[in-house]
Amino acid sequence: MINSILDNDFYKFTMQHAVIKLFPKARAKYRFINRGEHMFPPGFASALQEAIAELAKLQLTNREKDFFATTCPYIDPTYFDFLQGYRYDPTEVRIEQNGGELHIAIEGYWYRTILWEVPIMSLICELYYELTSQVRQGDDEVAEKARQKIMRYKQLGITIAEFGTRRRHSYTAHRLVVQALQAAGEGTFIGTSNVHMAMLNQTKPIGTHAHEWFMFHAAKYGFKMANLLGLEHWSDVYRGDLGIALSDTYTTDVFFTQFDKKLTKLFDGVRHDSGDPLEFADKAIAHYQQNGIDPRSKTIIFSDGLDVEKVTRIAEYCRGRIGISFGIGTNFTNDVGLPPMNIVIKMVEAYPEEAHWTPVIKLSDKPGKHTGDENMIALAKQILEIP
């Protein structure tokens, strides 16, 4: 199911590198959220625990280390030495099953636990389909679907990255999809969020940071400083590389008030991950224009639940107004003739150095995607003056 420590999203490694440099004593807690209310079969927790125990055997090989270091020269060499010595510790993960309900909690130093989210979600999906005896379409059909999609994207004259590790049907389906995209998508397919798949297909790992980066900053510095200091610290580590800023941890409107002129000029663009994409495009364009910047010199990465129809609508709306690119996840890696799972694992508490356990939250542009402690959500809305 997972046979490489690099079978994970790139932004987990880039954040881990930054956490080691800036917050090595911070601790974190994560929790599994079953948005789709899937019912898990008897014995699922035991099977998942066994699969997680197997992850402890993974280690970075010399070949993987050479690929990663050569591809990402902006990451310190010391980090790759650290990663070669890193081992997953299954004692950081607690799993319980009550009937069809699954409960997962992760706790430990943030620099260690940050790598758990993506592989655990991948394992949950693959085991769920296997243990519920759901059979996907054949290899040829899965690959052909991906090929047809990338050909349609090629006709739009846009660039596409694959972002589907977390909710993929299986490792095999994921590999088939990336191979098909790479083979048919020259000039359109620009890479994958999965570092292992990038190495296998000699393409580029794509990503920057995730919501948890800003959620931790809110716990340490407060909601009003979370976006600004999160991006300042990111630029301190990467010095202009990895320059796409995630915009919706505390709503887009709040983000743009904290995305000051320095950061607006420094970062290459922004990522859209919730809410209406066309409204977001208008807000981003207006923000750049207000700061005397040609929006066409910047890029929006759209990554929220995309399919061919949605991408087409966004591309036609934005063409000639601002740079655009797209990160497509589940519609690539779990379009196999079965209903995809709707699950997430989110940071729920953070323990900054010399502080205490603090609930962390996310206020996306889609209210149904708010996550975290209800009292803290109410407090954040009050502080940030969100209706």
Domain parsing of the chain, residue ranges: 10-135+339-384, 139-333
Q: In this structure, what DSSP letter does residue 73 have?
A: T
- Is residue 92 helix, strand or coil? helix
pLDDT at 366: 82
101 Cβ neighbours under 8 A, 6+ residues apart: 34, 39, 40
Q: Which of 218, 178, 237, 252 is nearest to 373 (CA)?
A: 218
3-state secondary structure (DSSP) of residue 99 = coil
10-135+339-384: which CATH architecture?
Answer: Alpha-Beta Barrel (3.20)
- How many Å apart are CA 311 and CA 329, to the nearest integer? 13
pLDDT along the chain (387 residues), means of 10: 97 98 98 97 98 98 98 98 98 98 98 98 98 98 98 98 98 98 98 98 97 98 98 98 97 97 98 97 98 98 97 98 98 98 97 94 83 94 94
Terminus-to-terminus CA distance in the chain, angstroms? Answer: 44
Q: In which residue are the tokens 């095999």 written?
A: 172
Report the C-alpha gap between 333 and 330 in whole angstroms: 5
| Res 364: pLDDT | 84
What's the pLDDT at 82? 98
Q: Tokens 């320095």 identify what position?
A: 262
Q: What is the CATH number of domain 139-333?
A: 3.20.140.10
Residue 368, pLDDT score:
66
The reported pLDDT for the residue numbered 229 is 98
Question: Which pLDDT score is estimated for 387?
Answer: 85
Partners of 362 in the beta sheet? 371
Q: Do domains 10-135+339-384 and 139-333 have the same CATH topology?
A: yes
